Amino acid sequence: MYPNPDQRAFITGCGALSPLGRGVPAFWSGLLAGRSGLGPIRSFDTSAYAHAAAGEVADFLPPRDLSAGEGLRLDRISQYALVAAREALSAAALDLAAADRTRVGVILATTLGGMLIGELYQRRRRSGAAFAVRQLLHYPYYAVAARLARELDVRGPVVSPSIACASGTHAVGLALEFIRRGQGEVFIVGGAETICEFVVSGFNCLRATTADTVRPFDARRDGLLLGEGAAVLVVESAAHARARGLEPTVEVAGTALAGDAVHMTAPARDGAGAARAMRAALADAGMEAGAIDFISAHGTGTVYNDAMEVAAISAVFGDATPHIPVNSIKGAIGHTLGAAGAFEAIMCARILDDGVIPPTANCEQIDPACSLDVVRGTPRRHAVRAALSTSSAFAGNNAAIVLQRAS
């Protein structure tokens, strides 16, 4: 029968491969330093593009992180995901060989999946050049999560949440829900993306990208830049973690989704959907808004997203809004789409552990219309017991999660 819904879930390990470097330490120290990993795209010829900067994973050499067979067998996005997953499992000191693998699942979000395979296939089909067609099995969106699940040899639920830019946040929340619902005990959770022409041309044609750089909540902000990489967390039931002798410090306490039902590509200007997701996530965590000490904003650096978020956060937190520290990591690593929320969850976990909030890279002249306390310039020491992370996406999808320090 369905178990006690009060089952709790904890983050017991994290792994990250980002434009700030390999590993969580590089990601975290880069964020704290206010460093930006954005730069000219190097992975394809951008001469036909007006805006051609992004956050790419630099210096990724598969032989260093993967076996020769894995380097040959796996496409780039799967390599990213596997490297980040191994780091997370190692940090969690979790030996899957010793676990009941029917209780271990994978939740890996991606909005692009094996798009590099799809692009290459279409180009070669047109030109008549040779192409190993069996690679196409790894093109669909579900293939990245399935490949990671096969590499890790798990037998629990394997899902690729697909609510565009809110997918990574939902992935973390879904692990909590699956644990509460008895679908598994351990989830390897996160998101992965690779920069490719498909997505760069897409955001260019929507005129959503900037020619300059990403400046979340800045008066001069004028668009986003994309990013790539993989962020993976191990989310584990309290009972499972306890049985392994762990005393985890960060809990996934609540999660929620809400739809705008307004527009396919633009956020609802009033932020009503995002606000409902935040309120529902707080309710799911059994918390009042006053319990939140930090907000990880979606903060894409587009004019409308950031204004929408100011409205949404103000609606939820009212008079307390100017007193809650907020940041965005999009200026540091770009918009990593399906992975964004997972990167943000890793940052929140570090903030909860370390009591220091990284600054928002490139936010220099705060927008006068922004009433948020945007952390910028230097890291801010601040004791955080509970953090809220919010994401919004195409198709009017909004997701929010609440993380808290274990009591």
Partner 1 sequence: MMPPVVITGLGVVSPLGHSVEALLQGVAASGPPYAHDRERALTVAEIPLEAIPPDKRSRIGRLDRLCRMFLSASYLAVDSAALTIAPAQADRVGLSFGTGLGCLLTNAEYNQKIIEQGPAAASPRLFAYTVSSAAAGEVSIALGIRGPNVTAHMGLAAGLGAVGYGFDLIQMGKADVVLAGGADVLGSALLEGLDDMGLLKAPEQSRPFADAVAGIWPSEGAVVVVLERQDHAGQRGARALGRIDGYGAGFEPSLTRRARECTGISATMRRALDLSGHVPDDIALVLAGAHGTPLDASEQAALAQLFGPSPPLVLAPKAVLGESFAASGVLALALAAGVMRPEAFCGSSLSMAEEGLLEPPVVMVNALCYSGNIVSLVLSREETS
For partner 1, the binding residues in 205-224 under the rule CB under 8 A are 205-206
397 binding partner 1? (CB under 8 A)? yes
Decide: 317 and 345 in contact? Cβ < 8 Å.
no
Buried b (16+ CB within 10 A) or exposed e, 139-149: bebbbbbbbbb
CA distance 26 to 6: 35
Q: Which one of residues 12, 36, 162, 296 is an interface residue with partner 1 (CB under 8 A)?
A: 162
141 binding partner 1? (CB under 8 A)? yes
Only segment of 75-83, 193-201, 239-247, 326-334 that touches partner 1 (CB under 8 A)? 193-201
The CA-based dihedral angle spanning residues 96, 82, 342, 253, taken in that order and rounded to the nearest 10 degrees: 0
Q: Which one of residues 21, 37, 157, 325 is an interface residue with partner 1 (CB under 8 A)?
A: 157
346 binding partner 1? (CB under 8 A)? no
Only segment of 16-24, 31-39, 56-64, 203-211 that touches partner 1 (CB under 8 A)? 203-211
74 binding partner 1? (CB under 8 A)? no
What is the nearest approach in angstroms of partner 1 to the Cβ of residue 362?
25
Locate 162 and state its tokens: 């697909």
Written as one string, the DSSP assignment of 237-276 is EHHHHHHTT----EEEEEEEEEE--S-SSSPPTT-HHHHH
Which residues does 5 contact at the CB level (< 8 Å), separation at least 6? Answer: 180, 181
Q: Which one of residues 53, 89, 115, 278 is an interface residue with partner 1 (CB under 8 A)?
A: 115
Residue 72: how many CB atoms within 10 A of its CB? 9
DSSP state for residue 164 in the 8-state scheme = G
Give the pairing of strands 397-405 and 325-327.
Answer: unpaired
261 binding partner 1? (CB under 8 A)? yes
CA distance 97 to 376: 44
264 binding partner 1? (CB under 8 A)? yes
Active site residues: 165, 298, 335
Only segment of 1-9, 304-312, 320-328, 384-392 that touches partner 1 (CB under 8 A)? 1-9
What is the nearest approach in angstroms of partner 1 to the Cβ of residue 256?
7
Paired with 106 in beta bridges are 158, 188
Q: Which one of residues 12, 160, 296, 300 is an interface residue with partner 1 (CB under 8 A)?
A: 160
Q: Which one of residues 159, 224, 225, 297 is an interface residue with partner 1 (CB under 8 A)?
A: 159
Paired with 257 in beta bridges are 399
What is the nearest approach in angstroms of partner 1 to the Cβ of residue 202?
4
Q: Which one of residues 53, 146, 324, 329 is an interface residue with partner 1 (CB under 8 A)?
A: 146
For residues 279-318, which are near partner 1 according to CB under 8 A? 280, 284
Mask of contacts with partner 1, 75-114, x by CB under 8 A?
---------------------------x--xx----x---
Decide: 289 and 282 in contact? Cβ < 8 Å.
yes
122 binding partner 1? (CB under 8 A)? yes
Closest CA to 165 of 347, 358, 349, 342: 342
* For partner 1, the closer CB: 138 or 405: 138
43 binding partner 1? (CB under 8 A)? no
240 binding partner 1? (CB under 8 A)? no
Written as one string, the DSSP assignment of 195-213 is --HHHHHHHHHTT-B-SS-
Secondary structure element (H or E) that encloses residue 104, with its range: strand 104-109
323 binding partner 1? (CB under 8 A)? no
Q: Which one of residues 42, 95, 202, 243 is an interface residue with partner 1 (CB under 8 A)?
A: 202
393 binding partner 1? (CB under 8 A)? yes
358 binding partner 1? (CB under 8 A)? no
* For partner 1, the closer CB: 157 or 229: 157
What is the nearest approach in angstroms of partner 1 to the Cβ of residue 377?
35
170 binding partner 1? (CB under 8 A)? yes
117 binding partner 1? (CB under 8 A)? no
Residue 69: how many CB atoms within 10 A of its CB? 8
Q: Is 357 left (phi over 0), alpha (psi -120 to 50) or beta?
A: beta
Paired with 256 in beta bridges are 400
